[in-house]
Structure 1
Amino acid sequence: MSAELDPRLLTRAREVVSSITGFRDDAIASEAMERVVRQELARGRSSADILGEMLFPQSPLSGTLVRAALVGETYFFRQPEHFRYISQAGVPAALRKGALALRGWSAGCATGEEAYSLAAALLASVPHGFPVEVLGTDLHEASLETARRASYGTWSRRESAPRLFPLYLDAPERQVTILPVVRRITTFAQGNLLAPLPERFGRFDFILCRNVLTYFSPAAREQAISLLTRALNPGGFLFLGAVEADRVPPGMVREGPPELQTFRMLAPGELTTPAPAPRPVERSEPPAPLFRKPKATPVPVVPARVTPPPPPSRLHLEALERIEEGDVEGAAAVLESLVRQAPDYLPGLLELALLRERTGAREAAVPLMRALRVRAERLAPDHLVDGPEALPARFYQASADAYLNQGALE
């Protein structure tokens, strides 16, 4: 049995991580903090010595704690609807306004897949030779070193995220390397979302900060979004994750449907107009699902009387197909059946909750998010949950917490 730890050590460790990253206390994995503290004790250090070092945010131990808490889940062209919007709407709008160059920022880029994806999307959408630059920033220097190597394995390539634009070449041992033309325009630097980006980096036309703010406290999330918007050029676009903003940031307008979570910075003299109301349920364009349906996966028709109920993942794929076809009511019915059949299938709970929210039924979404949080808390934070894409349990807990915390603030 493990020896009892001084509770002050774990409490202070979580305070250190929260102060540096902006993470909510309940989004910081206790197991990760305990692992680091026990490693320090095993080296012969005293509790007083460890507590003393944790008083300094720039100390090596504080850096180790932050690295242990960070979530590095990322892959190429994650949330492909954002990259499609950049290519089909964002870049043409910037070119029509006479932009002489385009600059993008992947804020919280982890190991760099998002930054390279953004660079590829911009390159493929501008005339040949048009100047493009992309910056990727992250707190974790080791992740940035991986990004600079520009070599990735199969985990960075998912069926749920199509290869939208030329990005990499195949390499030995199932590795891929980023195309030289994409690599040349992409740079990486250490940065904290709670601090202003140094002026030397300039301003940007496209900023992606997705699935990071989910873990932030409400105050830290507001601070980070404010700093992100200050780094935008007039007319620039900010892209956030599914549950990371419950209102339009000041000085911006919403672009596209609410589920796209895309905002445009108003130009000087442009009238501030209220964000358009969410489209009614009977719209022809369905709400974007949380997960994307893998294209080549058929959903066979299984006679209910002959075989057992289909597995949760198959029902989930059927719901995604219905959403893409515009059959929102049918998708909701399938997801409701899925939740009844498999109440511990976290991706189904989150998908149904977000579908309810997007169609204006918040009162039905809240209990689903509460159930999601309870079930996610039963799992180890780093436990990978099967679904259309494998995500750690902490992602589902943080998503539920972020949604419920937003509701409490309204």
Structure 2
Amino acid sequence: MSALPSAFADESSGIGRFIELLHRTIGLDAESIGANSVSRAVRERYTLWRDRDGGTLDDYYRAVTQDPSRMQELIEAVVVPETWFFRDPEAFAALARLARVRLHERPAKPVRVLSAPCSTGEEAYTIAMALIEAGMPADRFTIDAIDVSERALAIARRAHYGRNAFRGRALDFRDRHFRAADGGWQLDPAVAQSVRFSQANLLQLDSHAFEHFDFILCRNVLIYFDRDTQCAVLRVLDGLLAQGGTLFVGPAETGLLMREGMSSANIPLAFAFNRPERASANVFNGTWPGVPGMPAVKTPAPFVLPAWASAPPVVRAMPVVAKPREAAPVQIEPVKSLAEARAFADAGRLDAAALAARDYLRAHPSNADAYYLLGVIADARGEQHESRGHYRRALYLDPAHREALTHLAACLSLDGDESGARLLLARAERVTGSAR
């Protein structure tokens, strides 16, 4: 790469103009990914443009603002996809179960799902696989997927993925829905055809142009926006959500939705929310609503995975929700692993989960995962002070504990400590990057 002119290197306001332009256009808060990263992307795009077309930084700014293709090139340079199949698997288990209930309630109307933004397609295709494996015929649901990046959408439409799209140990779905091809895996056309991809800017969506969606997944993107942009996006999503619909967000975004007046659907580790007046339809009380031919169960199916044991390096946060109703405290035998405690937590039996986790800690007092689990349980009970203490203890024992980092970040964000939350999220991103 050729050297930048000194005027470019010295003109901080020049970079600032592009950062503000990206903020206005796609809502990007540069600090969320690091202003230096955005500045580097601007410099790289400017250098390529200058070497090809010639001109100053001012000329490049005018080209970007006047030529949509140049603006799109800059957007592509700063949008870095980070996704994989069945990321936060409990969310897809919850979606599949709720979709079957929704279809039973309205058998004449297909279930509508939106993935926004969809990045390179892993989330949208995961939705399709989850619904198909839950027994829903392809003609009984529709999946729309939108993203601002044409490059990401091109990858999504190709439906061919490499190793980085498949993380964790639970990869049996790959055997069922993919075939090895060209050094990677090609998705089954029957699954690929069930998703409709289109290019769109989340900030500029017209809710009147869409039929309302029963389920919307907008995960791990709100954290890259500032507060005003977050509110604007949530207004758009709210306008797209059908009566009684459910919004799924990323684990680190649960605090934001609580602040904005959304109600947790109380489904463990699904990060699902409703508007308060809509919450009663889908509130989880420890038992899933029944569907003819499907017995009531305590945990979602078919993708119930022990998240702490088998999930990839995922950043997680637990929504702060009211304590679910549960039976009297259960006497349990001493546990040899955390699996029993996690199973209790996933079933909404928080007292039993806490007892099991503390029992495990008596034998393993330096186990960070056990303290992390106690933090999740405390969050679910609404015991914010205790949850923060548990997360900090987990981080003392394991400073690179990704889940504890993002859970504590969500707690700090709820407390109004945005700078502290950003620092923890940055640490979590570094840990995730080094793990890959």
Same fold (TM over 0.5): yes
2:408 to 350, 353, 370: 353
1:264 to 274, 298, 322: 274
2:120 to 100, 111, 115: 111
Q: Summarize the Cα distance change of 1:63–1:142 in structure 2 as closer, same or farther, 3 Å threshold.
A: same
Shift of 1:207: 0.9
8 Å CA contact 1:121, 1:165 repeated in 2: no
What is the DSSP-based 3-state SS (H/G/I as helix, E as strand, rest coil) of the residue aligned with 2:154? Answer: helix
8 Å CA contact 1:17, 1:69 repeated in 2: no
- State how many pairs are aligned: 357
Shift of 1:94: 3.8
After TM superposition, the structure 1 stretch with the greater mean CA deviation from structure 2, 58-67 or 126-135, is 126-135
Q: How does 1:20-35 map to 2 (within 5 A)?
A: 20-27=25-32, 29=37, 30-35=39-44
Residue 46 of structure 1: aligned partner: 56
8 Å CA contact 1:135, 1:187 repeated in 2: yes
Q: Distance in 2 between matches of 1:316 and 1:212?
A: 28
Residue 221 of structure 1: aligned partner: 230
What is the DSSP-based 3-state SS (H/G/I as helix, E as strand, rest coil) of the residue aligned with 1:77? Answer: coil
After TM superposition, the structure 1 stretch with the greater mean CA deviation from structure 2, 270-279 or 128-137, is 270-279
Q: Distance in 1 between matches of 2:259 and 2:244?
A: 14
What is the DSSP-based 3-state SS (H/G/I as helix, E as strand, rest coil) of the residue aligned with 1:78? Answer: coil
Residue 196 of structure 1: aligned partner: 205
Residue 305 of structure 2: aligned partner: none
Q: Distance in 2 between matches of 1:250 and 1:336?
A: 26
Q: Distance in 2 between matches of 1:210 and 1:11?
A: 28
Shift of 1:124: 2.5
After TM superposition, the structure 1 stretch with the greater mean CA deviation from structure 2, 216-225 or 117-126, is 117-126
- Amino acid of the residue matched to residue 434 of structure 2? D
Q: Distance in 2 between matches of 1:48 and 1:159?
A: 47
What is the DSSP-based 3-state SS (H/G/I as helix, E as strand, rest coil) of the residue aligned with 1:87? Answer: helix
2:14 to 9, 15, 37: 9
Shift of 1:282: 11
Identity of aligned residues (%): 24
TM-score by length of 2: 0.67
The structure showing larger relative contact order (alpha-carbon pairs under 8 Å, at least 6 residues apart) is: 2
Shift of 1:115: 0.6
After TM superposition, the structure 1 stretch with the greater mean CA deviation from structure 2, 156-165 or 6-15, is 156-165
What is the DSSP-based 3-state SS (H/G/I as helix, E as strand, rest coil) of the residue aligned with 1:263? Answer: strand
Q: Distance in 2 between matches of 1:196 and 1:333?
A: 41
Give CA-to-partner distance per residue, 1:205-263, whole Å, 9 cap, x none. Answer: 11101001110121111111111121222222211112335345989643115864312
Unaligned runs of 5+ in 2: 286-319, 330-343, 348-360
Q: Summarize the Cα distance change of 1:160–1:265 in structure 2 as closer, same or farther, 3 Å threshold.
A: farther
8 Å CA contact 1:205, 1:236 repeated in 2: yes
1:100 to 99, 109, 117: 109
After TM superposition, the structure 1 stretch with the greater mean CA deviation from structure 2, 67-76 or 41-50, is 41-50
RMSD over aligned Cα atoms? 4.5
Residue 219 of structure 2: aligned partner: 210
Residue 121 of structure 1: aligned partner: 130
Q: Distance in 2 between matches of 1:190 and 1:148?
A: 12
Shift of 1:340: 3.1
Shift of 1:191: 0.8
What is the DSSP-based 3-state SS (H/G/I as helix, E as strand, rest coil) of the residue aligned with 2:186? Answer: strand
Unaligned runs of 5+ in 1: 289-300, 305-309, 391-410
Q: Write 1 or 2 for the structure with the bigger share of helix.
A: 2
TM-score by length of 1: 0.70
What is the DSSP-based 3-state SS (H/G/I as helix, E as strand, rest coil) of the residue aligned with 2:181? Answer: coil
Residue 402 of structure 1: aligned partner: none
8 Å CA contact 1:191, 1:197 repeated in 2: no
Residue 190 of structure 2: aligned partner: 181
Q: Distance in 2 between matches of 1:179 and 1:66?
A: 30
1:37 to 38, 46, 67: 46
Residue 297 of structure 2: aligned partner: none
Q: Distance in 1 between matches of 2:412 and 2:426?
A: 22
Residue 395 of structure 2: aligned partner: 339
1:278 aligns with 2:288: no
8 Å CA contact 1:40, 1:50 repeated in 2: yes
